[in-house]
Amino acid sequence: MLKEFGDKKDVKHPINSSRKIVVLRVEKLDQNMRVIQFREAIAEAMSEEMRRDEKVFLLGEEVAEYNGAYKASQGMLDEFGPKRIIDTPIAELGFAGIAAGAAMNGLRPIVEFMTFNFSLVAIDQLINSAAKMMQMSNGQFPMPMVFRGPTASAGQLGAQHSQAFESWYANCPGLKVVCPSNPYDAKGLLKAAIRDNDPVIFMESEQMYGDKGEVPEGEYIIPIGVADIKREGTDVTIVSFGKIIKKALEAAEQLAEEGISAEVIDLRSVRPIDYDTIITSLKKTNRLVVVEEAWPLASISSEISFTVQREAFDHLDAPVKRVCTADVPMAYAPNLVEEFMPQVSKIIEEVKSVLYVK
């Protein structure tokens, strides 16, 4: 149920002065909703699936006795015991390989990486075992497993702990790559990932675990590969995913104050990508800006830009623009972190450039 609140506001349109935009604030109301943290949504999804299916188990560094490095497995050891909530040594290659073998034998493991920066130690198991086994065995060995944990930067953590790996894993056929941006999506998508018979890379953020949002008490699943329009608009389409969607929405809010109506699409997964939703929006707005926390070369925004010009070139009234990170390893100094990351000001600048307004 949706309820409007606050005053309607008429804003002069930046391109067509005879047209006005009505900006509405919307509040979701549902008596069965609770406001919980992102980490709690993750824990609920895993716990519900473990109650539903005894083949599901969790392993990783500090997931049991410590309740997870980011407390995303809080209380699960007490409920499910040490045979299903398993603390591992600091050996990502080893426990990723154990999980791949377990999946081949009919179990449904969830692997938590303390950070996807550490998944590089285990990447052989993800790419050469998990992603390929279904095809190499002619379908005899499905690989129902989830690799989850935080990706990308979390502030001043230095170059080796601040890398975004969405496009790396999305490059590999055989994997699905999911990037939720809020607690509601995180729970529904993680439950879908656990039930999927393909290996799923489920990418979170250290800076989102404390985020709060409405999550229903009842059962729900969000299908992988379906984007969500987080904000409707008519002048420009902004596409993003993961924690950076918050900056896209903030930019859209500021643009609305200037009379620019931005539609914001949250991809939610980057393999598969929901191109239909992007192109449908583009046919309405005729302009596209893609925002992601990743280096620009061979990125998700590169792939979207190529596909849009191939499939919807005649609907573009301006070149596709991208807002990515700087094309350098991320530094430690806070002023350089600020320069490295996509910022609201950069998003607004690119939106105005495709609208040809100052």
234 φ, ψ to 5°? -130, -15
Q: Which residues of 192-204 are buried (b: 16+ CB within 10 A; e: fewer)?
A: bbbbbebbbbbbb
Active-site position among 92, 112, 206, 303:
92
Residue 249 neighbours by CB distance under 10 Å: 19
The verdict on whether 161 is a catalytic residue reads: yes
Give the separation between CA 186 and CA 188, rounded to whole angstroms.
6
The verdict on whether 258 is a catalytic residue reads: no
Active-site position among 49, 61, 161, 206:
161
Report, as residue numbers or ranges, the catalytic residues.
92, 161
